[in-house]
Amino acid sequence: MAFVQLEGLGKRYGEIDAVVATNLSVEKGEFVSLLGPSGCGKTTTLQMIAGFVEVSSGRIVLDGRDITHAKPASRGLGVVFQSYALFPHMTVKDNVAFGLRMRKVANGELQQRVDRVLKLVRLNQHAERYPRELSGGQRQRVALARALVIEPPVLLLDEPLSNLDANLREEMQFEIRRIQREVGITTLMVTHDQSEALSISDRVVVMQAGRITQIDAPYTLYEHPRTEFISGFVGKANLLPGERDGAGVVQVRSGGELILSLRPEKIDLRDKGQGRLQGNIVSRFFLGSQWLYGVSTTLGELSVVRRNDGSAPLTEGTAVGLDWDATLLRVLSVDEVPA
Ligand SMILES: Nc1ncnc2c1ncn2[C@@H]1O[C@H](COP(=O)(O)OP(=O)(O)O)[C@@H](O)[C@H]1O
Ligand SMILES: [Mg+2]
């Protein structure tokens, strides 16, 4: 049996179905992200697992134990929320030790555990500082240390990096993953940031309007999005009409009844007259390591991403041919969930 199991989990607020009949199994040591747009029920799901929001229907099972109605403290889970309030009048060390003092852990052991976890989050040099003397990223690490020091069976993170600026956020993504691997702790993280979910998770759970719509490893999710919404939410997608040819192979066809997705980096630019489709460059954006082109075609405007290999980019107005490997076309299902 999975380590954390959600069985038909649901939450109603009056007339609003915040979370609907959610089934999810998380293995021990796994890092799973809940990804979806604002309001889709991510926080509610996490809060039900933490025990801060009462469950309307279904069950939560942790390591074989039904904890659906257990008090939050008795679940003993590590929780880091978006607004992680540290105690301002306590040093880093005391902030981290707080949970252990509450649990009446003996002083010798307490010191050892605090030292160990501060090393883990690389804050052992700052143990005597106060929160106001720390950067945003360092404070975030204190919050993480505070959750980890109680050695919880599961770590719950709700948008833990959303208060950090872009560079720091990326750095902290790798930090969280390193720490999670080192400790081997089962982790559930909520995020609305698809690149964050893809870069650090073992599996990503996509949520829409209170429902799970896809669960897959990051690479599979990106390469095989199930629906139109997911293809556009997880990365960028070109949507094209298509149909199956006599051999059952999917092809792009004007007026075809299938909806196909083709990622911008899967399209090659060729000389005018070559390739599968003709177009004109109508826009060009420099992304640093890549160029993003807008190309107008008879099938609509397509996005094409090309690696910046150091050569001069194409200019707007240039006529080009577009080509792709037909095996990279994905057939999408129509969204069954209201947006
Ligand atoms: N305490 C509450 N009372 C009423 N509605 C709520 C409450 N908390 C959340 N909701 C509603 O439940 C839905 C899911 O919210 P939430 O889980 O916070 O979404 P997310 O974290 O994905 O942004 C939203 O429609 C939200 O307005
Ligand atoms: Mg939320």
Pocket-testing residue among 12, 43, 194, ligand 1, by greatest number of atoms within 8 A of Cβ: 43
CB 19 within 8 A of CB 10: yes
CB atoms within 10 A of CB 259: 17
Tell me if 319 CB under 6 Å of ligand 1. Answer: no
Whole-number pLDDT of residue 164: 80
Residues 156, 296, single domain; the answer is no
Higher-confidence position of 248 and 220: 220
Q: Which atom of ligand 1 is nearest to the CA of 11?
A: 12
Number of domains in the chain: 2
Tell me if 16 CB under 6 Å of ligand 1. Answer: yes
Whole-number pLDDT of residue 85: 81
Whole-number pLDDT of residue 339: 53
Whole-number pLDDT of residue 175: 87
State in Å: Cα 15 to ligand 1 middle: 12
Q: Which atom of ligand 1 is nearest to the CA of 36?
A: 22
Distances from the Cα of 117 to the Cαs of 131, 143, 311, in angstroms?
17, 11, 48
SS3 201: coil
The domain that holds 314 is classified in CATH as 2.40.50.140
Query: Which percentage of the chain shows pLDDT scores above 90?
Result: 87
Query: Going by CA atoms, what residue is nearest to atom 25 of ligand 1?
Result: 39
In this predicted structure, the answer to whether residue 251 has a pLDDT above a threshold of 70 is: yes
Q: Which atom of ligand 1 is nearest to the CA of 14?
A: 4
Residues 218, 276, single domain; the answer is no
State in Å: Cα 144 to ligand 2 middle: 18
In this predicted structure, the answer to whether residue 161 has a pLDDT above a threshold of 90 is: no
Residue 290 falls inside a structural domain: yes
List, in order, residues 6 or more apart from 163 with CB less than 8 Å away: 82, 83, 136, 140
Whole-number pLDDT of residue 338: 60
Tell me if 39 CB under 6 Å of ligand 1. Answer: yes
- Indicate the length of the chain as a whole number: 339
Tell me if 54 CB under 6 Å of ligand 1. Answer: no
Residues 290, 195, single domain; the answer is no
Mean pLDDT of 129-151: 92
Query: Going by CA atoms, what residue is nearest to atom 13 of ligand 1?
Result: 18
Residue 312 pLDDT level (bands cut at 50, 70, 90):
very high
Whole-number pLDDT of residue 214: 97
In this predicted structure, the answer to whether residue 311 has a pLDDT above a threshold of 60 is: yes
Q: Which of left, alpha, beta for 323 (phi over 0: left; psi -120 to 50: alpha)?
A: beta
pTM: 0.92
Task: Look at residues 206, 173, 152 and name the one whose alpha carbon lies nearest to residue 42.
Answer: 206
Residue recorded with tokens 């690149």 = 195
In this predicted structure, the answer to whether residue 121 has a pLDDT above a threshold of 60 is: yes
Whole-number pLDDT of residue 81: 84
Residues 203, 317, single domain; the answer is no
Mean pLDDT of 178-187: 94
Residue 197 falls inside a structural domain: yes
SS3 content of the chain, % helix, strand, coil (to 5): 30, 35, 35
Residues 145, 280, single domain; the answer is no
Residues 296, 173, single domain; the answer is no
Q: Which H/E stretch holds residue 181?
A: helix 166-183
Query: Going by CA atoms, what residue is nearest to atom 14 of ligand 1?
Result: 41
Mean pLDDT of 299-315: 97
The domain that holds 194 is classified in CATH as 3.40.50.300
Q: Which atom of ligand 1 is nearest to the CA of 40?
A: 22
Residue that finishes a domain, picked among 203, 230, 257? 230
Q: Quick one: CA torsion of 112, 118, 120, 124, rounded to 10 degrees?
A: -110
Tokens standing for residue 60: 């939560």
Residue 309 falls inside a structural domain: yes
Pocket-testing residue among 34, 44, 47, 193, ligand 1, by greatest number of atoms within 8 A of Cβ: 44
State in Å: Cα 40 to ligand 2 middle: 8
Task: Look at residues 106, 164, 97, 95 and name the one whose alpha carbon lies nearest to residue 131.
Answer: 95
Whole-number pLDDT of residue 124: 92
Mean pLDDT of 101-123: 93
Query: Going by CA atoms, what residue is nearest to atom 20 of ligand 1?
Result: 39
Residues 170, 279, single domain; the answer is no
Tell me if 311 CB under 6 Å of ligand 1. Answer: no
Residues 42, 168, single domain; the answer is yes
Q: Which atom of ligand 1 is nearest to the CA of 19?
A: 14
Whole-number pLDDT of residue 335: 76
Tell me if 10 CB under 6 Å of ligand 1. Answer: no
Domain membership of residue 21 as a residue range: 4-230
CB atoms within 10 A of CB 153: 16
Tell me if 8 CB under 6 Å of ligand 1. Answer: no
In this predicted structure, the answer to whether residue 290 has a pLDDT above a threshold of 60 is: yes
State in Å: Cα 276 to ligand 2 middle: 43
In this predicted structure, the answer to whether residue 83 has a pLDDT above a threshold of 80 is: no
Ranking 12-16, 25-29, 165-169, 335-339 by mean pLDDT, the lowest is: 335-339
Residues 98, 164, single domain; the answer is yes
In this predicted structure, the answer to whether residue 70 has a pLDDT above a threshold of 90 is: yes
Mean pLDDT of 82-101: 91
Residue 338 falls inside a structural domain: no
Tell me if 40 CB under 6 Å of ligand 1. Answer: yes
Tell me if 47 CB under 6 Å of ligand 1. Answer: no
Which amino acid, residue 200? Answer: I
Residue 255 falls inside a structural domain: no
Residue 19 falls inside a structural domain: yes
Query: In whole numbers, what is the pLDDT of the chain averaged over residues?
Result: 94
Residues 226, 272, single domain; the answer is no
| Ligand with an atom nearest the CA of residue 15 | 1
Residue 224 falls inside a structural domain: yes
